[in-house]
Amino acid sequence: MQRNSTLPTFTALALLALVAMAQEPPAATITGGKIQGGLLKTGGAVFKGIPFAAPPVGDLRWREPQPVKPWTGTRDTTNFGARCMQGGADVSEDCLYINVWTPEWPPKSRKPVMLWIHGGGNFAGASSEAIFDGEALARHGVVLVSANYRMGIFGFYEHPELTAESKHHASGNYGLMDQVAALQWVRDNAAKFGGDPRNVTVFGESAGSLDINVLMTSPLAKGLYSRLIGESGPVVAPPSLAEGEKKGLSVAAGLKADSLKAMRAVPAADLQKATGQGLSFLGPILGVVVDGWVLPKHPFEVFEAGQEHRVELLLGSNARELTRPFFPVEGLNQGIAAEFGPLAPRALEVYGLKNGQEPAPDPVFGSAMAQWATDSQFRCGTVAELIWHSRAGNTSYQFQFSRVPPGREAVGAAHGSEVPYVFGTLSIAGRAANSPKYDSTDGAVSAQMQQYWTNFAKTGNPSGGSLPQWPKFDPAARAYMDLTAQGPVAREGLRREACDVFMENIKRK
């Protein structure tokens, strides 16, 4: 009986496979020309490596993205485009490519669109990374899009001559401009893949989250999306254009390039080598500057005034993002003293350091150093942004990811650990060397997160179906959803005392 009961399932799968084999490869005509992608085994289609802007090479290096150059014939889009310049192999300046997963082909109805902006500190990463495969999320009834953007010196470089040649009298933030161009491409082309250009959610992690959060204050991005999901990267306080130009001149001097023309002539590999891989060039704010055009005003000021884009926001962080802060500190007490100034005694008390002895590590948040690192660089900035955004009358939700992947108990729910749960790619992430040994609990957490994320993309409310109700965030209760191994748990006031001191310190500065 058991054997006979499984036959219909196998027969159905075989029929689906035969139907897929019989179908013509999916094709669409978009900005630039005709493309041909591939069919997904589970139904739907995928298109990879679609150009969404002209290659930013030669004279287009350090310029705003230009319109894509039309091609003749049908362009094959079954392989990813090159990664943007960074350390490692298979990189290129010609990297402005976008990818699309759609759950049905041909499209029968309009579906919400989710545009993914990857992390990597604005100096590494690519939309083609295996854990960003969009098929699992697309199966929840959304069109999943991911895009590359310029990084490092190629995406975040300021120079007085660049500012002078710009009709906007600005330089830098080219990576942010690429993200805006990707949103514009979605607006113009999503319908060809069954997407609804009027229902777009942009979501990102780490630097990708930071970038899209500061873009909430940019006129360039206004009206291009309805919702935003940010994972571990709230709005920040970038330096000025003048500060960026000083750094840019210093880099040029080190390369013995006495003009912008000379800088544009430097081979890409040499520019990458000269500026290194990581925060040494970009700094703790990851290269973003208040340039007067992409970011006309300081993002904190825009949020405090309630003048950011009026979009629905789901924002959160992981329970133990870091064990130490990105910036160098001699010790915890010294770091807190330098950061908080006259508020330091109160901060020391919050972290249990007032008597000079460090308390035992918290089972969820880790040591006092880990708590401060996560509070100061992720968690409390998230709370501050949500307070500003909800106070301005915008629907807002907060999450904390607390599930510790098996085998990672020593580091806890660390930075980036939630990403394969969101994409439903635990099986892919689990293949890497020294990867966690994900189990059925992780599968359940992943399924819940995928449903929450796509519910939010569809309606602006993550709740729905059999999922526990996710309360809205408000400045008083500060409700949030804790995504734990035991399932989602609604709580209030995440690290309230620490975040209150953090926000007072923002005002002091």
Type of residue numbered 202? V
Structure tokens at 52: 């969404």
Residue 415 annotated in active site:
yes
Decide the pairing of beta strands 27-30 and 33-36: antiparallel
Q: Could you please report the per-residue DSSP string of 29-61?
A: EETTEEEE-EE-TTSSEEEEEEE-S----GGGT
The rounded radius of gyration (Å) of the Cα atoms in the chain is 23
Structure tokens at 476: 């008083």
Residue 206 annotated in active site:
yes
Residue 60 contacts residue 54 (beta carbons within 8 Å): yes
* Contacts of 198 by beta carbon, 8 Å cutoff, 6+ apart: 226
Q: Which helix (H) or strand (E) holds 245?
A: helix 241-254
Residue tagged active-site, from 127, 205, 415, 417? 415
Beta bridge partners of 491: 480
Beta bridge partners of 168: none
What is the rounded CA–CA span in Å between residue 36 and residue 100? Answer: 12
What is the rounded CA–CA span in Å between residue 91 and residue 318? Answer: 30
Alpha-carbon 68 to chain mean position: 24
What is the rounded CA–CA span in Å between residue 159 and residue 246? Answer: 8
Structure tokens at 25: 């490869």
Residue 436 contacts residue 355 (beta carbons within 8 Å): no
Residue tagged active-site, from 64, 129, 308, 321? 321
Structure tokens at 110: 């309009």
Structure tokens at 168: 């906007």
What is the rounded CA–CA span in Å between residue 501 and residue 391? Answer: 19
Angle (CA) 433-439-443 rounded to 5° is: 110
What is the rounded CA–CA span in Å between residue 348 and residue 333? Answer: 7
CA separation, residue 507 to residues 340, 386, 461 (Å): 11, 16, 31
Angle (CA) 450-456-457 rounded to 5° is: 90
Residue 295 contacts residue 289 (beta carbons within 8 Å): yes
Closest C-alpha to 125, from 156, 148, 144, 92? 148
CA separation, residue 56 to residues 69, 94, 154, 349 (Å): 12, 6, 9, 51
Number of neighbouring beta carbons within 10 Å of residue 250: 9
Number of neighbouring beta carbons within 10 Å of residue 261: 10
Residue tagged active-site, from 206, 232, 376, 463? 206
Residues carrying an active site annotation? 206, 321, 415
